[in-house]
Structures are given as C-alpha cells and as structure tokens.
A = this chain, B = another copy of it.
Amino acid sequence: MPLDATVATRIRFADTGLVPVVVQDHASRAVLMMAWADADALAHTLATRRATYFSRSRNAQWVKGETSGHVQHVREVRLDCDGDTVLYVVDQTGPACHTGTTTCFDGDLILGDDHA
C-alpha cells in the first residue's frame, strides 16, 4: 500500500526507511509504547485506522493486536516539528504491552518522582 505523496514528503524517514512512532492512549493520555513504522506501515495505519508497525527484529510489518486481540484504533496521527517522529493517539483494547501491563513503561522505574 503506497503512502500518500503529500504525506510522504513531510516525513523524514531514517536511513533504515523507518520512523519512530510514539503511541499514546486517547482516554488516559498514558504513553503506551514506542515502535517503528516504514512508509507501508504508515499507509496501512492511515487507510485502516488499525495501528500498524514495522518490526526490526522480524523484518516484517505487523498490525498491533493481530494475534493478541489487543488492537489499537487510531484516533489521530501527528508528525513532530522536524518531521522525524510520528505520534499515534489510540483507543487501546486490553493491555498495550505483551507482558500484560497497561503500558510498556509500567515495569521499570529508573528514577522515582521527587514530588510524589
């Protein structure tokens, strides 16, 4: 699936052909995960509103939740000021993380809140 040309020209893909995607939950505003997309994955996301990524380890496109059922309906897609990072704002079904936690950032706190 080709990416719309007017969108493609705005995105600065890395030399790998990928762009990092930050994923935020629409309801809770939590940062759910970070993944990567190539032009095809982004085009698939825009066309279907199912969050789609490119796996660097498997070297293949993946639709989030295709096997787990923990899909992401994409409410918004945004691009940052220098065009090299994408934000998906999603409605998350079930936990976002394959470990079963709500977000991929729940398990490992490196520095705790000094105002908590």
Interface on A for B, CB 8 Å cutoff?
7, 10, 20, 22, 24, 28-31, 33-34, 45-46, 49, 74-83, 85-87, 89, 97-99, 101, 104-116
Q: With A22-B31, A22-B34 as given contacts, are A79 and B115 in contact (CB-CB < 8 Å)?
A: no
Q: Which residue of B46, B99, B108, B111 is within 8 Å of A111 (Cβ)?
A: B46
Q: Which residue of B29, B81, B104 is within 8 Å of A81 (Cβ)?
A: B104
Closest B residue, CB atoms, query A42: B110
Cβ A78 vs Cβ B110 within 8 A: yes
Complex Cα gap A79–B97 (Å): 13
Q: Which residue of B77, B78, B99, B112 is within 8 Å of A76 (Cβ)?
A: B112
